[in-house]
Amino acid sequence: MSSYFTDLAQQYIDGEWRPGTGSWDIIDFNPYDGEKLASITIATVDEVDDAYRAAERAQKKWGATNAYARRAVFEKALAVIDEREEEITEVIIAELGGTRLKAAFELHLVREFLRESVQLALRPEGKIIPSPVDGKENRLYRVPVGVVGVISPFNFPFLLSVKSVAPALALGNGVVLKPHQNTPIAGGSLVAKIFEEAGLPGGLLNVVITDIAEIGDAFIEHPVPKVISFTGSDKVGRHVATVCAANFKRSVLELGGNSALVVLEDADIDYAVDAAVFSRFVHQGQVCMAANRVLVDRSIEAEFTEKFVAKVKTLKTGDPRDPQTVIGPVINSSQADALSGVVEQAITEGATALLHGSTTDNMVEPSVLTGVPADSDLLRQEVFGPVVFLVPFDGEEEAVRIVNDTPYGLSGAVHTADIERGVNFAKQIDTGMFHVNDGTVHDEPLVPFGGEKQSGIGRLNGETTVDSFTTTKWISVQHGRSRFPF
C-alpha cells in the first residue's frame, strides 16, 4: 500500500504538515475491501482560519511575482506526477475504488490541465478603453481575486481538485482546499504534496481535512476567500450559493447531471452502443456527465437494446486492482443502498429489468431498465451509479422534449448519420455541453465546462477560468486638468 496513506494523513497549513486538533478522526476506508487506509484528526474552525490567513499573507507576494516565474511551478508539478505515476495510481485505486483504466484517464486529464495552467499564468491581459473625456486614459487591469476556496468531490478527486487549484494559483491567487471526507488523500493532501515538491512557496496552498459537523459553514463564510469553487451535488451547491451570496462572494458551481444519450434512427447502432455503454458505466457511473438515460428511436429499439444489453453483460465487475475490471465498487454503503433502492423503485413502478445486477457490500453490478413510466421521478433525477434507463421515442420532437424534461442540464450526446442534423438537435437541448456522435463524458482544458439549470453556475477551463479566478480593476489617468461643476 502506498506510503501516502501514512505520510499524508495530516493537515497542510502554511507550508507545514500538522495534525488537526479536532476531537474526532475521519477514517479513510478502501471501498472495495473495507481496509482502513488512514485516520486523520479533523481540522477545526481555528485551523480553517489559520489556512485562509496563511493563503492571504502568501498571496500578496505571489500575485506580484512575474507570471513567467510562476509557470515553473506547474512545469515541475508535471514532472513530479510523471515520477510518481504508479504511486498516484495506487492511491486512486485504493481510496476511490477506481479501476486502472479510470486512474489512467484521471491522470491524463490532470496532466492536460496542468499543461494549460503553465500557459494560463500568461493569459490575463489589460486594456486601454476610450473615454469621452478629453485627456482621460482608462486602464482596465485583470488582477487575482486574492484567495480561492476549493471544495472537491469524491468521484474524480485528484482531477477536480487540480482543475480549480492549479489555475487559481497560476493566475496569482492563494488557495485553501477542502477535499471530500471519503477521498482526503487523492483529493487533498496528495495535491499539496505535489505542489510542495514542485517548489510552490509555503502558505499559498493549504489543505484542511474536516467535516461540516465540525466547522459548519466556516469554510465558505470566512471573510478571506473571494471565490468559492464547489463541485458536488445540487443540494449542497444550493446551500453554498446561498451562503456565498449572503457574504458577497462569487461562487463557481459544478453540480450534478441527468444526461441523455440519444440514438436517432439513422445512427451507426454498433458505435452508438459502445458510446452509450462507456457514457453510463465509466467509473461505475459515478460521473456527473454520465448518461443516466439512453433514448432510442422506436424503429431501432429492438436491435439497439439487444446489442446494448449484450455488451453490458461483458463488463467485468470486481477488484479494481485487476486490469480486466471495468466496474469496481461505489464509494460507500449508503450509495450502494441508494442504487438498490432505485432499481427496486423502478420495478415497483412497472419497469422491466433487462439486467438486474446484484449488490454485495459496495459492489453494485449493472442494471438495465426499460419501461420506466414517463411520469416517474427516476427519469428526472441524477442516479450516481451503474443503473441505466432505456427510453424509446417516436421522432426528434419527442426526443427533444424527453431530454429536456429534467431539472438538470449538464451534458448529453446524439448519434446520427447527418452531422448537421445532430448539431441542430443539440441546439434545442438546455445544457451547457452536448456532443454529436460521441459519448457524454468529456472535459478539455480550453473548452468552457459547466451546466445550465440545477447543474451549476459559471464555467471553468480556458478563458472562463480567467473570468472565474480574477477580477477587473479600472484605473483612470487624467492628463491635464478635469473641470468640475462646483
Write the pLDDT tens digit of every residue in 22-50.
Answer: 999 999 999 999 999 999 999 999 999 99
Question: Is the C-alpha dihedral spanning 160, 295, 328, 82 positive or negative?
Answer: negative
| Whole-number Å distance between alpha carbons of 314 and 299 | 25
Give the pLDDT confidence of 167-194 residue by residue, as tens digits.
999 999 999 999 999 999 999 999 999 9
Judge if 250 and 263 occupy the same domain. Answer: no
Annotated catalytic residues are 254, 288
52 with 201, same domain?
A: yes
Residue 329 domain flag: yes
Residues 335 and 464 in one domain: no
Alpha-carbon distance of 112 to 365, in angstroms, equals: 32
387 and 460 share a domain?
A: no
Query: Between the CA of residue 6 and those of 81, 107, 156, 189, 332, what are the distances in Å?
Result: 19, 22, 21, 11, 21
Q: How many angstroms separate the Cα of 462 from the Cα of each of 121, 164, 171, 360, 441?
A: 11, 12, 12, 42, 18
In a shared domain, residues 230 and 326:
no
Q: Count how many domains the chain has.
A: 2
Task: Name the strand (E) or helix (H) holding 250.
Answer: strand 250-254
**What residues make up the domain containing 164?**
4-255+455-474
Q: Is residue 171 part of a domain?
A: yes
214 is a domain residue: yes
Is 19 inside a domain boundary? yes
206 in a structural domain: yes
Integer angstrom CA distances of residue 28 from 95, 98, 173, 201, 484:
7, 15, 30, 28, 66
| Same-domain check for residues 304 and 233 | no
CA–CA separation, 259 and 289 (whole Å): 6
**DSSP-based three-state secondary structure for 49:** helix
401: number of Cβ within 10 Å: 11
CATH number at residue 404: 3.40.309.10
* DSSP per-residue codes, 338-399: HHHHHHHHHHHTT-EEEE---EETTEE--EEEE---TT-GGGTS---SSEEEEEEESSHHHH
Q: Are residues 203 and 347 in the same domain?
A: no
Positive or negative torsion for Cα 327, 331, 333, 337: negative
- Quick one: 250 and 319 in the same domain? no
Q: How far apart are CA 342 and CA 331, in angstroms?
A: 17
Question: Strand, coil or helix: what is 477?
Answer: strand
> Do 240 and 251 meet the contact criterion of CB atoms below 8 Å apart?
yes
Amino acid at position 259, single letter = S
CATH of residue 161: 3.40.605.10
pLDDT given for residue 3 in this prediction: 87
Residue-wise DSSP of 100-111? HHHHHHHHHHHH
Cβ pair 448, 462 in contact under 8 A? yes
Q: Are residues 16 and 155 in the same domain?
A: yes
Instruction: Return the number of other C-beta atoms located less than 10 Å from residue 200's C-beta.
Output: 22
In angstroms, the CA 474 to CA 258 distance is 41
Same structural domain for residues 172 and 314? no
Residues 6+ apart with CB under 8 A from 242: none
DSSP symbols for 110-124: HHHHHHHHHHHTT--
Task: Tell me if 479 is assigned to some domain.
Answer: no
CA angle 20, 26, 32 (to 5 degrees): 145
478: number of Cβ within 10 Å: 12
Give the residues of the chain that fall short of pLDDT 50.
none
In a domain, residue 447? The reply is: no
Q: Is residue 389 part of a domain?
A: yes
In a 13 Å sphere around the CA of 467, the CA atoms on its Cβ side amount to 11
CA distance to 130, 234, 350, 433, 464, per residue, from 241 (Å): 36, 10, 38, 22, 19
Residue of 166, 207, 170, 211 whose CA lies nearest to 187: 207
Please check whether residues 38 and 185 belong to one and the same domain. yes
* In contact, 67 and 48? CB cutoff 8 Å: no
* Residues 280 and 181 both lie in one domain: no
Give dist(CA 100, CA 81) in Å, integer.
16
